[in-house]
Structure 1
Amino acid sequence: MDVGLIATGLGDDDQADVAVRAEELGYDAVWIGELWGESGVVRATEIAARTDKIGLGTAILNVYSRSPAVLASTAASLQRVSDGRFALGLGTSTPKAIEDLHGMAFDRPVRRAHETIEIVRAFTAGDGPVAYDGELLEVADFPSLDAPTPIYHAGLGRANRRVVGRLCDGWIPHNIPFSRLEEAFEDVAAAARERDRDPDEITVAPYVPSAVGEDPEEARDVLRRHVAYYVGSGEGYRRAVGTRFPDEADRVAEAWRDGDRTAAASAVTDEMVADLGVAGAPEEAREQLERLVAETNVDHPIVVVPDPASSEIAELTIDALAPATP
């Protein structure tokens, strides 16, 4: 089973320590998130220097706060220091992050993603000078770096999923119920076929929120709080969850908006937990992850330990879901 892991700090271990441990446990790739705090790029560089074989990716860097040229030079640098193990994961992020953190307008996110990915692809192809005249972005005269890099995109809505199909090597969905992934992928596949691309060559690599505990209900409660946070604080996530659970997602979001976090988490049903993540005792959770890969179009599940998890649950989750269990 090809499994990735979002590297997060664990007790006294920082992200790089966890990445080293993930390599020892047989994870196929470690992915680095970035919102606010330490730089995901610096962290990825440290991990590249401290590991030997494990794949390395960003999940995700937003397409607003770094120019396409900076993203391309970042990819080239990380390809060099990792000996070709790097994949560039991009996404539009959210209005909250782009406007309130970065002080930028969250304008035309799908078009911004499309043009950014096209330019990054051109700037890393090694094919000579790059010229691009888009609706939002323009570049000219500078040479392309010889650093071909797989590009993944966290397209959530239908238009953003079409960007994946047109331009990307992989798709990182989050909070689309697993039972709806194949249906959602049809937008990716249709866009790929329009460009004479083979949809089967696009890696489906969803976030898989995961909590493993000796007390299965405690583990499921971690996922309830995780789902409630995303459904309550992000309209795109509410719509994604609502593709299967429309009424339930509305109840969660309403409770969250009213400020009742406990009620919001309680409104996340057992069916939602089962279709949006992996939770339970070690053997139970591992079986869920294996079944997810066997019964859906998931190629590369990316295990995400939610923030509400205790250090004990986080550690057990990383160990229990590793391809080569300790």
Structure 2
Amino acid sequence: MTADLKLGLQLGYWASKPPEYDWVGLARYAEDLGFDSVWTAESWGSDVFTPLAYLAVSTSRIRLGTGIAQMAARTPTATAMSAITLDHLSGGRVILGLGLSGPQVVEGWYGRPYPKPLARTREYVEVIRKVLRRETVTNDGEFYPLPYQGPDSSGLGKPLRTNLRPLRKDLPIILGAEGPKNVALTAEIADGWLPLYYVPERPEVYADQIAGAKDGFEITAMVHLAFTGAAQDDIEQALWPIKGALAFYVGGMGAKGANFHKNLMVRMGYEAEADHIQELFLDGKRDEAVMAVPTAFADEISLVGPPERIKERLVAWRESPVTTLLVTAREEETLRGLADLVL
């Protein structure tokens, strides 16, 4: 159970161009309201670190999270360099969120192999921890050998340690994970977890995987937030954005036999619906795929409705192991409304 929920603002990644709304002003406003963190993301466009560096100058207290930095995009030492640099620039406010993405992105965009994702994640985190401890970094692992000694090696590589002293050796590392084995690994090696979809009324979905997490383990759950009228039509209208996102992730973010988002929806009890959404989406019937997303599922992972309804829904979140609600709202009045209820 979480005694005091924290709030985070997820700004996400940029679409076809930089945001037209005042994203920097929104982050400042969230900080003034008492939000604990602000997050950015990356897919195959804007990167995750540069906007946070901009926000580091524009804010003073709010923590800065990468949600997520894709591991295939950078070697672990390069990721550590970015995190250490940003931590200095921000006065120790970085939360390093990492994730693998899926094989379509890893191999299609970054040109890196995807197999053995769990072993790859463990090794990646181990190397970053060594850098943060300012050790002379060596690694004889399968994926990130240091020094490199492959058949095309010059043989001149030497073990190094960062010449920029990390501001914090214990800079928090959290992982975005969905599959049961990946979540269990996260509880074992990370300081926190970023679930994409979390339903507080269904704790059994992940209870076994996070049972062994250490003290202070943070769970930062993303949730769609919208204040509406009390009518059911108002609530359902406000759920359309999350339905659109669910249709894209469940239907198209991955191949037919390798879609972790779809698999998660199945584990949450919506197998037939997930199969139908994916079938429609892959057949090019995207509008129909959105319409096929169950309102109940979209509602379970959201906070939508009048203030009294959201206040009632918050009871389940407070009774869950979630420590931070990561909201995707873009309006100051919406952030203020949630802060009034939570903080």
Q: Tell whether the structures are fold-level matches, with TM greater than 0.5.
A: yes
CA contact (8 A) 2:205 2:267 kept: no
Is 1:261 matched with 2:286?
yes
User: 1:318 is matched by which residue type in structure 2?
Assistant: L
Once the 2 structures are TM-superposed, how far is the Cα of residue 286 of structure 1 from its aligned partner? 5.0
2:184 aligned to which of 141, 155, 162: 162
Structure 1 residues 49-72: Cα deviation after superposition (integer angstroms, max 9, x where no partner): 110111111000011110111111
Other-structure match for 1:111 = 119
1:174 aligned to which of 196, 205, 225: 196
Other-structure match for 1:225 = 244
State the alpha-carbon separation in 1 of the partners of residues 69 and 340 from structure 2: 26
Once the 2 structures are TM-superposed, how far is the Cα of residue 171 of structure 1 from its aligned partner? 0.3
State the alpha-carbon separation in 1 of the partners of residues 59 and 339 from structure 2: 17
Other-structure match for 2:216 = 201
Other-structure match for 1:38 = 46
CA contact (8 A) 2:201 2:316 kept: no
User: 1:23 is matched by which residue type in structure 2?
Assistant: E
Other-structure match for 1:73 = 81
Other-structure match for 2:335 = 318
Other-structure match for 2:31 = 23
Matching of residues 122-141 of structure 1 within 5 Å: 122-126=130-134, 128-140=135-147, 141=159
| TM-score, reference length from structure 1 | 0.86
Q: Which has the higher helix share?
A: 1
Kindly tell me the number of residue pairs found equivalent between the two proteins.
310
Give 5+ residue unaligned stretches, structure 2. Answer: 148-158, 254-258
Once the 2 structures are TM-superposed, how far is the Cα of residue 159 of structure 1 from its aligned partner? 1.9
Once the 2 structures are TM-superposed, how far is the Cα of residue 74 of structure 1 from its aligned partner? 0.9
Other-structure match for 2:273 = 248
Label 1:319 to 1:142 Cα distance change in 2 as closer, same or farther (>3 A).
Answer: same
Is 1:300 matched with 2:324?
yes
CA contact (8 A) 2:226 2:305 kept: yes
Label 1:297 to 1:35 Cα distance change in 2 as closer, same or farther (>3 A).
Answer: same
Greater RCO between the two (CA within 8 Å, min separation 6)? 2
Other-structure match for 2:263 = 239
State the alpha-carbon separation in 1 of the partners of residues 318 and 108 from structure 2: 41
Other-structure match for 2:310 = 285
Other-structure match for 1:308 = none
Other-structure match for 2:150 = none
State the alpha-carbon separation in 2 of the partners of residues 211 and 257 from structure 1: 29
In structure 1, the residue corresponding to 2:267 is in which secondary structure? coil
Label 1:273 to 1:91 Cα distance change in 2 as closer, same or farther (>3 A).
Answer: same
Structure 1 residues 66-86: Cα deviation after superposition (integer angstroms, max 9, x where no partner): 011111111111111111111
User: 1:3 is matched by which residue type in structure 2?
Assistant: L
In structure 2, the residue corresponding to 1:204 is in which secondary structure? strand
- Please say which structure displays the higher CA radius of gyration: 2
Structure 1 residues 179-210: Cα deviation after superposition (integer angstroms, max 9, x where no partner): 334541421334x4xxxxx2x42111122133
Other-structure match for 2:10 = 6
User: 1:18 is matched by which residue type in structure 2?
Assistant: L
User: 1:161 is matched by which residue type in structure 2?
Assistant: V
CA contact (8 A) 1:3 1:300 kept: yes
Q: Indicate the RMSD between aligned Cα atoms, in angstroms.
A: 2.5
| TM-score, reference length from structure 2 | 0.82
Is 1:51 matched with 2:59?
yes
Identity among equivalent pairs (%): 29
Other-structure match for 1:142 = 160
